[in-house]
Amino acid sequence: MQGTWLRVSRPLREAGAGLVRYCRHRTAAVFPSPVIFGGSPKSGTTAIAALLAEATGLSLSNDPFWRVLRSDGDGFLLPDVLEGNLRLDAFVRKYPAYFSAQIVKDPDFAFLYRELQQVFPESPQVFIVRDPRENIRSILDRLHMRGDLERLGPAENRTLAREGGWRAILDGRGLGLDGRANYIGRLAQRWARGVDAYFAAGTPVHLVRYEDFLEDRAAFIADLADLLGLELRTDVNERLARRPVHHGYRSLSTETFFGKRNLSIIERTCGEHMAKFGYA
């Protein structure tokens, strides 16, 4: 009847969405040599990969691991891959639509350089690093959490229960982190493990700093495209002028946000690598 809305139950909507995803994967073809971006969550992987795609006219696929829901509701498959319960090549074959773009970005590719090299031997890989203090703070901003707690309380755990995969990020699942560390210590260890993986990759991986991107985004993207052998097709300067950079909530100093104890945990855990990247 005209003017009447048909109310569809949630299970039916989800079943319909599942059918659409099934058809997409059935008809998609994996792009053989995508540019692959990895790095810590909230290190600028989305902003840099998206702007590079815009500037070069290439297609972009975001966060394959986050787009597949596990049956237990955790919503995050990376620990299964890291622990050997799911092979990366099997994941790619099962979900080809998420690997059909010319640029594929997922922060957690940072732990899978060698596996990615086996699946995509012709693909250039990019590792994005960000000062761990700002990186961890940005993660906590995203989750509306404080940085100066000794341990997470009921409110924070309820947030993580709603946020699905972020629990696995804060716990460092699949990475063999020190279980005695608090949430700041685990995030710091996770950042350091990502850098360890970059240095141990054994394959050419291009390193870029998020801070350099913030200094001059257009020049950074032009240099990155040149490094990767990509042609610039769009001048992004005009669009960038209308697109402010958001640094999150910054009314508190870094030391006040984390407190001396938690800040010292980050700097002690990550200090050796911080010095290599110029993070005083």
Q: In terms of C-beta density within 10 A (0-12 exposed, 13-18 middle, 19 or more buried), how is residue 270 classed?
A: buried
Rg (CA), the chain: 20
The mean pLDDT value for 264-277 works out to: 97
CB neighbours (10 Å) of residue 10? 7
The mean pLDDT value for 41-67 works out to: 94
For the ranges 85-94, 96-105, 233-242, the lowest mean pLDDT is seen at 233-242
The dihedral built from the CA positions of residue 194, 198, 200 and 202, taken in this order, carries a sign that is positive
Write down the pLDDT at residue 236.
Answer: 81
Reply yes or no on whether the pLDDT at 20 is more than 60: no
Write down the pLDDT at residue 243.
Answer: 65
Write down the pLDDT at residue 6.
Answer: 53
Write down the pLDDT at residue 201.
Answer: 92
Reply yes or no on whether the pLDDT at 2 is more than 80: no
Site of tokens 């010319």: 102
Looking at residue 97, what DSSP letter applies? G
Instruction: Give, in degrees to the nearest 5, the angle at Cα 24 between 20 and 28.
Output: 175
Reply yes or no on whether the pLDDT at 15 is more than 80: no
pLDDT averaged over every residue in the chain: 87
The model's confidence at residue 1, banded by pLDDT at 50, 70 and 90, is: very low
Reply yes or no on whether the pLDDT at 263 is more than 90: yes
Higher model confidence: residue 238 or residue 121? 121
The mean pLDDT value for 241-264 works out to: 80
The model's confidence at residue 129, banded by pLDDT at 50, 70 and 90, is: very high
3-state secondary structure of 66: helix
Q: What is the pTM of this model?
A: 0.86
The mean pLDDT value for 101-123 works out to: 95
Reply yes or no on whether the pLDDT at 246 is more than 60: no
CB 119 within 8 A of CB 88: yes
Which of 91, 93, 127, 89 lies closest to 107 in space, CA to CA?
A: 127
